[in-house]
Every structure is written in structure tokens, then in C-alpha cells.
Structure 1
Amino acid sequence: MPGEDLGSSEGIEAGHGVLVVGDRIISTKQGKMSRKGNTISVSPLHTRYMPRPGDLVIGHIEGCTNNIWFVDIGAPFNSILPMSLGPAKVEFGGTRKILDIGDSILCRVQEVEETHQIVVTMKGMGLRKIRSGALDELDPHLLGRLIGKGGAFLREMKMQTDCRIVVADNGRLWIDGELENILEVRKRINSISSEAKMIGVDA
């Protein structure tokens, strides 16, 4: 828990998620404590996605006006998709004919404004409305474990399951293939998440 006393700081280096206060190590996050050598860290059990321009994200349409869609990308701030950055030419007032509430999209973060409003775009290679397959989710700080060193783990999983797997920077995943193979991928993703919660790991 934040503020929890994790013990004496003597001979100990503070890793992520902790601070040295006086001669004590104090947690700054809710999570699982881990020790590697003389370094103590606290790895979060859950992390919130913080968007950056250029990020590939999977979003859910949660509302629209005559010329703007409102998109949930799992960030703490509002996200908008202007009509001009949508997937197709649309007349003013016709946004719901192109993307309706509840639709899921593959898009990119174009801009994060000083007011924390996020602008996303669907103009770019491969960006689209998601019409098939299944979506899953993994805490963003665990994406490195899913992808593996040099992308090896993800490549192997794609090959073994014959699924298309798109890993977005906001921790959401698009899995497309035969149903039984999609279920196998989701099983492996859940295993990564469960294992991380048990042992307390970072990316």
C-alpha cells in the first residue's frame, strides 16, 4: 500500500515504486514488493495507460456529435476522433453512419493537448474499424512479457495458433482467427496476467 514501511534502507537501493525516507524504505504504490539483489521495488498490479503521440491504440466509440466521435482508449483523459480524421468521407451529421456507439477501432494518437484532451486518427496504414475476431486486454506494463525479447514470444504464439494478433500500446489486443485458436490465445494472455499478479513483475 502507498506509505507502507518496507523496512530499513541500510544497504538497500530504492527501485521503482519506493522512496527512502530517513532510514526507511517506503512504498509509493499499491502492488507487489520484489527484491533483486540489494534493490527493492514495488510493481503495480494495475497501471493506467498514459497516451503519447504516435501510439497505436484500440478504442471504443462511446458517443458522437455531428462532426466528432468520442473514443474510450483506456486513458484518464477524453479522446476525440474528428470527422476529418475518420476512416471515410462523411457528410456533416452523418457520423453514426460510419462509426456507431459500441464500435471498436484501431487508431493512432495524433495529439495530446496541454488540456489533456487526446486527438486520435484513423488516417494511416492498417487503421480501421474492427469487424471480426475478439478483443482482450492486458495491463500496459505487462505488454513486454507478451511480446517477448525482440518480439519472439508474440511471433511464436501467432505461428502456433495461426491467429492475427495486434498488440496496441494501451494494453488492448485484437485477435483474429478460428474460434478455438482465439480462445487459446486468450488463455495464454490470461496466464501472463495471473502469473504477474502472483509474483509481482514489471515489463
Structure 2
Amino acid sequence: MENDGQLIAVKLGALIENEDEISVMPSHTKYTPRPGDLVIGVVEAVQSNLWFLDINAPFNALLPMSLGPGKSEFGGARNVLNVGFSVLCRIQEVDETHSSVVTMKGLGLRRLDSGIVEEIPPHLMQSLFSNSEVLKSLKSSTDCRIILADNGRMWIDGDTDSISDIISRIDIIRNLSRDFSSLDSMIEALQTEVC
């Protein structure tokens, strides 16, 4: 925003200057769901034919039984997914109030029974992993399976030491982002073995 010839940021964050362009990397963002996004959700509540998922957005997402995993009878939702379960799903639709409906019907969409789920602020996730080489480097240096979701969550599966190494790297990233460090230093931290 411009005020009396001065540029004023409308969000708190780190100043980024590239030649003739000035922008601000925000220090905190919340995920805004869009149709087609791959997300990792955590079951927060169950009804007879519906699950409520925390997708790291201002509102919970709805997972109707018809779009859920496998087949289950009416009233048997808890037998399929219970409170606390993590799932890999896709945003199917978002209405004008930002409520969303997700689906688990699709290739690779499933309940996440192994590994752990970690969170990185969504704006950092996009910036850090926009270059696929960063993710390839992280996977190859730790021998872990990693899935990045659009809602700022990542699923990590591998041996305990490798998972601990990745968690340590993510903690470094979180600390660097609070200090408004450069994106390059964050990428370097992700690619450097900690343990």
C-alpha cells in the first residue's frame, strides 16, 4: 500500500527485494482451501454418515461417507475412521463461506496409518518446495517417503532416525522463519543433515 509516497506493508513479514520488485514474505498465514488441493486432514468428529476434518484452515472440512474410504454401512463411520486418524484427501468443493468438502476417492488417497504428520506454514511450504530438487534432496538424504500437502502439512515415513533428522530440519526452518531469515538459508537448512 502506498501512503504519502512511502510503501507500507499490510502484513508483517520479511522484505524481499528482486531488482525492480519488492514484496513481503508473511510471517504467518492460514491455508485457504481450493478445489483440487491435496490435503492431509485429521478427523476431529464423527457422525453416523459424516466425518469432520481439521485441514489447517479456518473451518473444518466435511468428508461424507459416500466420498470416504471403502464401503461402510450407515452408522458405521467410526469403524472406518475414528477421531485422531490422519487421512490424505483432496478438496472437492469449496462454498462461498469457505466450508469445504473433501474426497478420498482417487489414486493414492488413503488413511495414513504409518509415519508422522508435520506442519510447516503454508506460505513456506510453497516457497521451499517450489523447486522439486529440494524435495528430491530431502528424500534421498534420509531415505524417507514424503508427501507434501497444499495445506502446510507433510507426511513422513521411514526409520526413526531419518524421521528425527527431518523433524530437526523442520524445527530449524520454523525458527529461521520467525527471525525473517532468507529463503536461501531455509533451503540450505532443509538440505543439510542434522542428526
CA RMSD of aligned residues (A): 1.9
Question: Quick one: distance in 2 between partners of 1:147 and 1:32?
Answer: 18
15, 18, 27: which is aligned to 1:45? 27
Query: Secondary structure of 2:89's partner?
Result: strand
35, 39, 63: which is aligned to 1:57? 39
Residue 13 of structure 1 corresponds to none
For residues 39 and 146 of structure 1, do their structure 2 counterparts lie closer, same or farther at Cα, with a shift above 3 Å needed?
closer
Answering whether residue 139 of structure 2 is matched by residue 158 of structure 1, we say yes
Q: Give the CA deviation at 1:174.
A: 0.4
String of CA shifts for 1:178-197, please: whole Å, max 9, x gaps: 00000111122222232233
Structure with larger Rg: 1
Question: Quick one: distance in 2 between partners of 1:183 and 1:71?
Answer: 26
Asked if structure 2 preserves the Cα contact closer than 8 Å seen for 1:142 and 1:193, the reply is: no
Residue 10 of structure 1 corresponds to none
Question: Quick one: distance in 1 between partners of 2:169 and 2:181?
Answer: 18
User: Which structure 1 residue ranges, 5 or more long, are not aligned?
Assistant: 1-18
Question: Quick one: distance in 2 between partners of 1:64 and 1:81?
Answer: 10
TM-score (normalised: structure 2): 0.87
Give % identity: 49
Question: Quick one: distance in 1 between partners of 2:98 and 2:125?
Answer: 24
Comparing 40-49 and 104-113, the one that deviates more: 40-49
String of CA shifts for 1:136-159, please: whole Å, max 9, x gaps: 01011112343252x101111111
TM-score (normalised: structure 1): 0.84
How many equivalent pairs are there?
184
Residue 189 of structure 1 corresponds to 170
Residue 199 of structure 1 corresponds to 180
